[in-house]
A and B are shown apart, each in its own frame.
Chain A
């Protein structure tokens, strides 16, 4: 509660009111949405959550990962396989999934940071690990290989939170809780001792090391925390979609999807990933509907528009959409970013 108060205290009065309104709106809004819009809302919150998780590593600590699909996939496959083969319930499987992701992150991090791999090389190494794992899973018969792993849908009528089985609205509240948790947790991290170490490493690693910060240790902390958070998203993914294909969860386009929201929204800020997720999803769906309404619904058209929109944002808004918008509206934290 203390951290929440601190987090709130750092915001302007107007932002506090807006934040409260946003939360209230998110709590009541699903009851007014049809099935399609509810799916979109879940998508937005999911991307906001994964974006927040990725942001811990890149936005706070400056380590560019382009292979976060690795952790989504490992988390999803671990929890799903435990249920599928051993009937282990998702809430128990979750901890195993987190453990697997932390272990994988520790391996990637230890190898990369010990050998001083950074920048572009680190980014490419993360892609390499994700791709390596994807091809491995495509040949991993125990979890269905390329044929995919399917969970029994069971019932969809009443809410069974214990087994993560129920109507979409239950998943909405689960992912909302996760996103809210990630928001508060990130806010706390950013203001904690670790957060300042990370920001020091992000700004100037050599200087941080010269000041006595154990950069290896804290970079390891960043990648493992980020991986653990992303792994939870993977568990959600597995039980929400009920089917897993290596070519989808581990694919590089899945990694790109994760990083678009925070970059488009605004790197390193707390609202950025949430705002970016909303913009990306609404933009993508808006383009789909627009193209459909205008009658030239050839495969590919919508992605072309999407690419153009992405290009315009990145060319003209180098810091993402949220920071300049927050400045214009006089919102956001009182000091710093």
Chain B
């Protein structure tokens, strides 16, 4: 095993991990503010992937360009979902919310099955087989584009929460619910905005992901679990943690595929998760509650 092979695998793990991180960022933002675990996260990812495939096959829209319309559509849908179904449930116990989101997930994945059938779909862009050569190292173009797009989207989200008034208001809701109500913030509306933003993150990640893998109607649960693993490793509710967790999981998957059996790759992720839960339950970058 040559050093350049290991570096290649590591870099591709980091790039894929950035896309994972963006997906998990959506989950983390939603949980951090609304305190609802989105068990339909992977199914939303699947919808975004199908949307990107559909835009590509019917209108030849490049998946990277498709990020914009798909993310906007998801923002609207996410806002509507929170405002109509989840807001009335936020004071209910966790298991009730769980059933609601499982029901939503079931509906989504089976609507996808009805519409697109059980076969795997993918996109074929002109640059998917190209790669950048730097000395002995080879980087897939598609993976590099996806990684860069993930960084750009994450940076925009960070900037929004750091500098925009609405972003600060959302953070205020997360830090102190009662305080936010007292100073006159419309918490329910901000929750809906947050869910919309979280959905937009998944949408963007889904568009990037179709450059790397195929999509079938049943991919949902595995992405949901992947997103859970990432946010818990990074710290549930911590935005930087989600990205860090994504990169860690991306690299661990890539290394497991290289050193062991690729079928065992998610076992390493779950082992990492169990270790983090036991020794640092708040996650690597999470704050103690």
The interface residues of chain B lying within 8 Å CB-to-CB of A299 are: 113-114, 118
Once bound together, how far apart are the Cα atoms of A307 and B111, in whole Å? 11
- A311 adjacent to B100 (CB under 8 Å): yes
- B264 adjacent to A139 (CB under 8 Å): yes
> Is A205 interfacial (CB-CB < 8 Å)?
no
- B99 adjacent to A300 (CB under 8 Å): no
Known: A139-B263, A300-B114, A314-B96. A307 touches B103 (CB 8 A): yes
Q: Which listed segment binds A: B7-15, B199-207, B224-232?
A: B224-232
> Is A175 interfacial (CB-CB < 8 Å)?
no
- B225 adjacent to A310 (CB under 8 Å): no
Once bound together, how far apart are the Cα atoms of A205 and B274, in whole Å? 24
- A260 adjacent to B107 (CB under 8 Å): no
- A315 adjacent to B88 (CB under 8 Å): yes
Question: Scoring A residues 257 to 300 as 1 if CB is less than 8 Å from chain B, else 0, what string do you get?
Answer: 00110011001000000000000000000000000000000111
Among B100, B106, B271, which residue has its beta carbon within 8 angstroms of that of A315?
Answer: B100
Once bound together, how far apart are the Cα atoms of A306 and B109, in whole Å? 12
- B114 adjacent to A127 (CB under 8 Å): no
> Is B59 interfacial (CB-CB < 8 Å)?
no
Known: A64-B94, A111-B278. A127 touches B267 (CB 8 A): no
Known: A117-B277, A253-B221, A298-B114. A310 touches B106 (CB 8 A): yes
Question: Scoring B residues 110 to 122 as 1 if CB is less than 8 Å from chain A, else 0, what string do you get?
Answer: 1111100010000
- B221 adjacent to A310 (CB under 8 Å): no
- A311 adjacent to B103 (CB under 8 Å): yes
Once bound together, how far apart are the Cα atoms of A165 and B103, in whole Å? 37
- B111 adjacent to A127 (CB under 8 Å): no
Question: Scoring A residues 130 to 165 as 1 if CB is less than 8 Å from chain B, else 0, what string do you get?
Answer: 011001101100000000000000000000000000
> Is A83 interfacial (CB-CB < 8 Å)?
no
**Smallest distance from the beta carbon of A150 to chain B beta carbons, Å?**
21
- B266 adjacent to A135 (CB under 8 Å): yes
Known: A260-B99, A263-B99, A314-B96. A304 touches B261 (CB 8 A): no
Once bound together, how far apart are the Cα atoms of A127 and B217, in whole Å? 21
**Smallest distance from the beta carbon of B35 to chain A beta carbons, Å?**
9
Among B88, B103, B264, B281, which residue has its beta carbon within 8 angstroms of that of A310?
Answer: B103
> Is A185 interfacial (CB-CB < 8 Å)?
no
Known: A303-B106, A308-B107. A64 touches B95 (CB 8 A): yes
Once bound together, how far apart are the Cα atoms of A267 and B264, in whole Å? 37
- B100 adjacent to A124 (CB under 8 Å): no
Q: Which of the four size classes fits the interface of chain B?
A: 35 or more
Q: Is the interface of A mostly helix, strand, loop or mixed?
A: helix
The interface residues of chain B lying within 8 Å CB-to-CB of A256 are: 102
**Smallest distance from the beta carbon of A245 to chain B beta carbons, Å?**
15
- B103 adjacent to A121 (CB under 8 Å): no
The interface residues of chain B lying within 8 Å CB-to-CB of A125 are: 274, 277
**Smallest distance from the beta carbon of A136 to chain B beta carbons, Å?**
6
Interface residues of B in 67-116 (CB under 8 A from A): 85, 88-89, 92, 94-96, 98-100, 102-107, 109-114
> Is B37 interfacial (CB-CB < 8 Å)?
yes
- B274 adjacent to A129 (CB under 8 Å): yes
Once bound together, how far apart are the Cα atoms of A300 and B117, in whole Å? 9
Question: Scoring A residues 27 to 49 as 1 if CB is less than 8 Å from chain B, else 0, what string do you get?
Answer: 00000000000000000000000
Interface residues of B in 254-270 (CB under 8 A from A): 261, 263-264, 266-267, 270
The interface residues of chain A lying within 8 Å CB-to-CB of B278 are: 111, 115
Among A252, A300, A315, which residue has its beta carbon within 8 angstroms of that of B225?
Answer: A252
- B100 adjacent to A128 (CB under 8 Å): no
Interface residues of B in 218-240 (CB under 8 A from A): 221, 225, 228-229, 232, 236
> Is B273 interfacial (CB-CB < 8 Å)?
yes
- A124 adjacent to B110 (CB under 8 Å): no
- B270 adjacent to A131 (CB under 8 Å): yes
The interface residues of chain B lying within 8 Å CB-to-CB of A135 are: 263-264, 266-267, 270
- A120 adjacent to B37 (CB under 8 Å): yes
The 6 residue pairs across chains A and B that have the minimum distance between CB atoms:
A307-B106, A300-B113, A300-B110, A307-B107, A310-B103, A303-B110
Apart from A115-B278, A301-B114, A314-B100, what are 13 other A-B pairs with CB-CB below 8 Å?
A66-B98, A116-B281, A121-B236, A125-B274, A128-B277, A139-B263, A139-B267, A252-B225, A300-B112, A304-B114, A310-B99, A311-B100, A311-B107
